[in-house]
Structure 1
């Protein structure tokens, strides 16, 4: 089964992806920026998509049976 996991390199998402891969699923992960967020898993397809934009989501959802939403927008708070 092809499953989309948002926020691919976040703490929660990495554990979800490990479990999905162990169960034999095909995983698509979203990242905001390839340069700043290098892929963690070799066997996951990565799509650049941001929660604040519609760009990338159509590609991310192609043939996906189920999304797992683990991303969230975090404000930057100055020290």
Structure 2
């Protein structure tokens, strides 16, 4: 179960990544952040993998629920 869930579908795009990074930074080790997005968050995955040492890329998961709903789980090491 995620420690926090962010529904970003109504958040303006320039505000999304900072909001995600802040929420992820507030997690404890072993917790996960779940985001709900209107597109596949592939750029976010690569950004997190390159810039956030505590991001557990091996256990990242994304599920497409419909055309405009993607749920991604971002685990913290």
TM-score (normalised: structure 2): 0.40
* Structure with the largest fraction of helix: 2
TM-score (normalised: structure 1): 0.40
Greater Rg by CA = 1
Higher relative contact order (CA 8 A, sep 6+): 1
